[in-house]
Amino acid sequence: MRALAKLERNPGLTLVERPVPEPGPGEILVRVEAASICGTDLHIWRWDAWAQGRIRPPLVLGHEFSGVVEAVGPGVKRPKVGDRVSLESHVVCHACPACRVGHYHVCLNTEILGVDRDGGFAEYVVVPAENAWVHPEGFPFEVAAILEPFGNAVHTVYAGSGVSGKSVLITGAGPIGLMAAMVARASGAGPILVSDPNPYRLGFARPYADRLVNPLEEDLLEVVRRVTGSGVEVLLEFSGNEAAIHQGLRALIPGGEARVLGIPSDPIRFDLAGELVMRGITAYGIAGRRLWQTWMQGTALVYSGRVDLTPLITHRLPLSRYQEAFTLLEKGQGVKIILDPKA
């Protein structure tokens, strides 16, 4: 089979030939039909400081993918051969303190597909059977492939007291920020403001936002106060940008909630007393998806038609054109790019 792998500790990836793996006890073999490139994959492609400290080549990339169950290992009762599946990317231990109290999304021993073990940028991949989410017959593979990052957005929007009937500021209009705007709109939030310096990506938020803000052209805090009168009740932070994080916190009304998924590339400084404590702000760190509550919430939104993710799929390319796909994302000229491992 063909696979896209990081073979050496330097920038770039390589298209390689590998034997088709065989599922062991508790595992399934998935024939990959669609795979999506994530920002994490871009870090590995660039071979930046994070990738150098985390990735151990050789490794097949890809943690956002879907396909069909081709074979099952001993002891597997579900899913069945022929099922259409998305894959939860976090492989958890079930034994650490976090897992024992049901917080699988912050398992102390998590292994991530395509980061810590071989992932889905391949024609076939072996994964734990418990990581499969089975879809109805006919559910589109390309949509199924992006339900994993969609889960990050759902987890962020639904954390704390939710967003229904609340004013929301979304900082960062990358794929997950755009998905969060969709979920917030479907969940009755308003007004919704979305901020991002990239006009291309910001434009994708237009159908779901009451106000778009390019912070390079407008004063974000001034716009927030003009739209809301005082500030927003909920901050959904996806940018990982230090300036955006400070602006987002200052945009909150006293007693507001900050839900932070974006990860800065370096440690940042902030005024703990002035930005958080004395204003009674509740801050949530968002990691992954709650297993399996978030999958239930997210697929309910998609299956019902309340959220349509297809507008965010900007490109569909064969795996052999991976360099073009990564270049598009590096230039900020794509949102979700789907790779076809068979082409």
Based on the number of CB atoms within 10 Å of its own CB, is 207 exposed (0-12), middle (13-18) or buried (19 or more)? exposed
**Torsion of Cα atoms, 173 then 178 then 183 then 184, to 10°:** 30
Q: Is 40 a catalytic residue?
A: yes
Long-range pairs, 218-222, Cβ under 8 A, ≥24: 220/195, 220/247, 220/251, 221/247, 221/250, 221/251
**Pair 118, 61: CB distance under 8 Å:** no
**Torsion of Cα atoms, 202 then 207 then 208 then 214, to 10°:** 20
Cα–Cα distance for residue pair 125/107, rounded to 1 Å? 23
Angle at 227 between CA 237 and CA 243, to 5 degrees: 35
- DSSP-derived secondary structure for 258-311: EEE----SS-----IIIIIGGGT-EEEE--S--TTHHHHHHHHHHHTTS---GG
Q: Is 43 a catalytic residue?
A: yes
Catalytic residue, chosen from 40, 110, 228, 294, is 40
Based on the number of CB atoms within 10 Å of its own CB, is 343 exposed (0-12), middle (13-18) or buried (19 or more)? exposed
Just list the catalytic residues: 40, 43
